[in-house]
């Protein structure tokens, strides 16, 4: 009887209560894999940011190193924080926001108003080895603290111009010496500042100069690859007051907790993108998600997504989904409906913004939705951890959240006007830069249907590959491909031999280093151009060529591209005087399928660590051949 009571009590507890129970029991480190699910529940609450901050205050008591020691694959984030005002309130929110993604935080917070010294001193925590994010929190008060008394618009404009020039120089220095990404932010302009000018013309001129400064600051991110600028404008518009006036006056807290909590979410999204954990697929429900009504009950004439009062909200949601899909996010459907009526609506219903061709997969059936998501993932050759699932049904959301915890679940509700906000709240698809391949991705996945038809119509894999007419080009990375090659290192998980993640600045540094070889792998076939699908990083070390990493997109697996690339690389190594080629495999939860890749091409094992890391060597005596069905060109000097 007592057991039943305990279970009932646990079921009634909210996620914050359950987290407190873990903390009291000393189980947060041991049960850390369960923490993201608890925080996901908190993130859906009405007072989400405050609740997450409370959870963060519990989590900061647990050392990130202890968590990582207990769980394979958990890698803490080293974040250094500095600023003009007191920003300690950022840490609980940042701890919780990162923990939502399974990332423990190791943070260092600098002294009050030490931001300039920290950025100038390459020995500060911002420059410490392993630092992933260097957060430099700026606020408008630091401009006014520097003005003479009395001051005018010209004084403020000079101060803003000087500050922008200083930040430009400091960002350049960080780009040269910093290990991670420097994060700055735009400056809010407060009424208590503008109203110190009594004439409207001066206030207007000050506002114009202020906006020009912020625009210039945002543009700096385009000039410095290791710089990211958070625009506080949208955050302030959502939160209201920038600060508590009394805390600003007495405690030098120039950015309030509400602003810092939302800034923390932006910082966590950035780190998630930098680690290559951007989501790739949005799977949506249909009834009361994409349209108002239930197709099976109301029929095509009884649903709406434009022409009724509620229908307009669904119309706005469909427009947002289509906008996301136009930028490389793959769209799919999982709906409890019959397939043909659904396809009829997507093809012909006058209210629909989204059409059948916008989706790479439409699963309309009566199977459980967790199984449907697994089916979509298998057909796209992607992991479910790259999926976002949006549904208005609490049951379906709960089923997917419990059965597939790797899937990001967006819980919609009965108010369609809030669908867009809920979908966009967590920036699941955020990426540092959109590439040409991103915009073409949906079409490339849709062309897989033609390849699948060809495979099914041929008698063997050899026959299929010959008919596919695969053409591969392996050559130096072109400037326009820099972002794409960096993206491949960040987002490729399955065919990634060492999982070394590189930012654009890192790729550029290797391109500029004569000892390194950086190659892009491009492919096309009878169904279209796949663009840059892989990358190879190598370097000379004496008479050896050392392969640092080889990566290939899951879209082009099993076509011989990887074998052809390595065969030509080995031939090139021997022709240029190398006596051996070395390569490595570093195991992760997702790349186990490529563990035997190097041995399959004649490499012998030179060393194996207790953790399963393997080092290989090829003596270049007998070289593998390029698969006969490939048309391959290799030009390491070309770009």
Rounded CA separation 318/498 (Å): 40
CB 472 within 8 A of CB 565: yes
253 CB burial (10 A radius; 0-12, 13-18, 19+): buried
Which tokens hold the place of 280? 């790739």
Is 177 in contact with 127 (CB distance < 8 Å)? Answer: yes
pLDDT at position 9 over 60: no
Mean pLDDT, range 248-270, rounded to an integer: 92
- pLDDT tens, position by position, 263-301: 999 999 999 999 888 999 999 999 999 999 999 999 999
Q: What is the pLDDT of residue 5?
A: 36
Helices 90-99 and 257-274 sit at what angle, rounded to 10 degrees?
A: 40
Gyration radius from the chain CA atoms: 27
The pLDDT score that the predictor gives to residue 459 is: 80
Q: What residues are paired with 84 via a beta bridge? A: none
3-state secondary structure of 188: coil
Q: How many Cβ atoms sit within 10 Å of the Cβ of residue 57?
A: 15
Question: Using CA of residue 548, residue 554, residue 557, residue 560, what is the dihedral sign?
Answer: negative
* Residue 539 pLDDT > 80: yes
Those residues with Cβ within 8 angstroms of residue 409's Cβ, 6 or more apart along the chain or in another chain: 40, 388, 389, 390, 391, 397, 400, 401
pLDDT value of position 1: 36
Enumerate the H helices of 244-334 as residue ranges.
245-251, 257-274, 295-298, 311-325
Question: Cβ–Cβ contacts within 10 Å for residue 296, how many?
Answer: 13
Give the integer Cα–Cα distance in Å for 14 and 266: 26
Is the Cα torsion angle 262, 268, 274, 276 positive or negative in sign?
A: negative
pLDDT level of residue 638 (50, 70, 90 thresholds): low
Q: What CATH number matches the domain at 76-274, 3.20.20.140, 3.40.50.2020, 3.40.50.1110, 3.40.50.10490?
A: 3.40.50.1110
How far CA 148 is from CA of 26, 139, 143, 161, 191, in Å, comes to 54, 18, 11, 16, 19
Average pLDDT over residues 216-242: 93
Segment among 47-51, 101-105, 447-451, 577-581 with least mean pLDDT: 447-451
Cβ–Cβ < 8 Å for 594, 585: yes
In the predicted structure, residue 443 carries a pLDDT above the cut 70:
yes
Neighbours of 129 (CB within 10 A): 7
Residue bearing tokens 């600045």: 505
Average confidence (pLDDT) over 67-77? 92
Cα–Cα dist 487/470, whole Å: 23
Q: What is the mean pLDDT of residues 40-59?
A: 93
| pLDDT for residue 151 is more than 90 | yes
Residues in the chain: 639
Q: How confident is the model at residue 176 (pLDDT cuts 50, 70, 90)?
A: very high
pLDDT of residue 364: 96
481 near 518, Cβ under 8 Å?
Answer: no
Residue 4: pLDDT band by 50, 70, 90 thresholds? very low
Q: What is the mean pLDDT of residues 67-79?
A: 93
Distances from the Cα of 242 to the Cα of 97, 111, 234, 236, angstroms: 20, 21, 12, 6
Banded model confidence at residue 3, pLDDT cuts 50, 70, 90: very low
- Listed by start position, the domains of the chain span 76-274, 281-424, 459-635
Domain 281-424 in the same topology as domain 76-274: yes
Taking CA 117 as the corner, what is the angle to CA 112 and CA 123, rounded to the nearest 5 degrees? 115
**Hey, how many other C-beta atoms are within 10 angstroms of the C-beta on 442?**
20
* SS3 assignment for 525-591: ECCEEEEEEEEEEEEEECCEEEEEEEEECHHHCCCCHHHHHHHHHHHHHHHCCCCEEEEEECCCCCC
What per-residue string of b and e applies to 332-369 under the rule 16 or more CB within 10 Å gives b?
Answer: bbbbbbeeeebeebbeebebbbbeeebbbbbbbbeeeb
Candidate CATH numbers 3.40.630.30, 3.40.50.920, 3.40.50.300, 3.30.750.24; the one for domain 459-635: 3.40.630.30
Task: Write the DSSP assignment of 314-349 as a string of letters.
Answer: HHHHHHHHHHHHTTT-EEEEEEES-HHHHHHHHHH-
Task: Domain 281-424: state its class.
Answer: alpha beta
Indicate the pairing of strand 227-230 with strand 181-185: parallel
Q: What is the mean pLDDT of the chain?
A: 92
Question: Which tokens go with 92?
Answer: 């609980």
> What pLDDT does residue 261 have?
95
- Mean pLDDT across 151-178: 96
Give the pLDDT band of residue 172 (cuts 50, 70, 90).
Answer: very high
pLDDT attached to residue 639: 57
pLDDT(20) > 90: yes
Is the pLDDT confidence value at 8 over 80?
A: no
> pTM here?
0.84
Chain segment 345-383, per-residue pLDDT in tens: 999 999 999 999 999 999 999 999 999 999 999 888 888
Residue of higher predicted confidence among 13 and 489: 489
The answer to whether 432 and 225 have CB atoms below 8 angstroms apart is no
pLDDT at 200 > cutoff 90: yes
Residue whose tokens read 């907790």: 257
Locate 147 and state its tokens.
């003005």
């Amino acid at each position: 009887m007592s057991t039943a009571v305990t279970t009932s009590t646990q079921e009634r507890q909210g996620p914050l209560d359950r987290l407190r129970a873990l903390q009291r029991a000393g189980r947060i480190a041991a049960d850390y894999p369960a923490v993201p699910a608890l925080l996901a529940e908190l993130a859906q609450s009405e007072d989400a940011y405050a609740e997450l901050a409370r959870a963060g205050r519990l989590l900061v008591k647990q050392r990130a190193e202890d968590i990582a020691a207990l769980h394979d694959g958990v890698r803490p984030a080293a974040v250094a924080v500095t600023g003009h005002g007191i920003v300690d309130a950022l840490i609980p929110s940042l701890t919780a926001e990162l923990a939502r993604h399974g990332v423990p935080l190791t943070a260092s917070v600098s002294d009050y108003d030490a931001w300039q010294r920290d950025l100038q001193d390459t020995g500060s925590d911002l420059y410490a080895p392993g630092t992933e994010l260097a957060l430099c929190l700026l606020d408008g008060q630091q401009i006014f603290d520097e003005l003479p008394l009395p001051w005018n618009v010209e004084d403020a404009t000079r101060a803003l111009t000087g500050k922008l020039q200083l930040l430009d120089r400091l960002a350049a220095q960080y780009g040269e010496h910093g290990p991670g990404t420097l994060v700055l932010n735009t400056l809010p302009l407060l009424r208590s500042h503008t109203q110190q000018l009594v004439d409207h013309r001066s206030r207007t001129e000050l506002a114009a100069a202020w906006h020009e400064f912020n625009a210039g600051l945002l543009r700096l991110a385009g000039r410095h690859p290791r710089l990211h600028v958070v625009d506080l404008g949208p955050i302030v518009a959502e939160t209201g007051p920038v600060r508590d006036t009394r805390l600003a006056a007495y405690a030098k807290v120039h950015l309030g907790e509400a602003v810092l909590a939302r800034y923390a979410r932006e910082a966590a999204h950035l780190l998630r993108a930098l680690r290559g954990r951007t989501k790739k697929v949005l799977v949506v429900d249909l009834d009361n998600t994409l349209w108002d009504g239930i197709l099976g009950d109301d029929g095509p004439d009884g649903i709406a997504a434009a022409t009724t009062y509620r229908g307009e909200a669904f119309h706005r949601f469909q427009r947002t989904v289509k906008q996301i899909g136009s930028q490389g996010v793959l769209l799919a459907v999982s709906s409890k409906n019959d397939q043909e009526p659904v396809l009829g609506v997507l093809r012909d219903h006058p209210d629909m913004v989204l059409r059948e061709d916008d989706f790479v997969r439409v699963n309309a059936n009566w199977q459980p939705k967790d199984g449907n998501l697994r089916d979509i993932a298998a057909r796209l050759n992607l992991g479910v951890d790259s999926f976002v699932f949006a549904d208005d049904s609490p049951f379906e959301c709960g089923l997917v959240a419990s059965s597939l915890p790797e899937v990001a679940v967006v819980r919609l509700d009965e108010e369609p006007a809030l669908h867009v906000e809920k979908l966009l709240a967590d920036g699941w698809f955020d990426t540092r830069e959109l590439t040409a391949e991103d915009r073409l991705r949906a079409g490339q996945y849709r062309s897989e249907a033609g390849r699948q038809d060809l495979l099914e119509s041929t008698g063997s894999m050899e026959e299929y590959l010959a008919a596919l007419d695969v053409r591969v080009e392996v050559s130096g990375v072109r400037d326009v491909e820099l972002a794409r090659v960096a993206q491949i290192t960040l987002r490729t998980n399955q065919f990634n031999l060492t999982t070394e993640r590189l930012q654009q600045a890192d790729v550029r540094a290797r391109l500029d280093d004569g000892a390194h070889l950086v190659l892009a792998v491009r492919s096309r076939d009878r169904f279209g151009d796949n663009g840059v699908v892989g990358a190879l990083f190598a370097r000379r070390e004496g008479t050896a060529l050392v392969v640092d990493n080889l990566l290939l997109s899951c879209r082009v697996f099993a076509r011989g591209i990887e074998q052809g690339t390595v065969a030509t690389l080995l031939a090139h190594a021997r022709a240029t005087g190398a006596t051996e080629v070395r390569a490595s495999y570093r195991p992760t939860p997702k790349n186990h399928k490529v563990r035997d890749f190097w041995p399959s091409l004649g490499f012998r094992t030179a060393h194996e660590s207790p953790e399963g890391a393997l080092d290989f060597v090829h003596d270049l005596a007998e070289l593998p051949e390029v698969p006969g069905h490939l048309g391959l060109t290799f030009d390491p000097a070309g770009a």
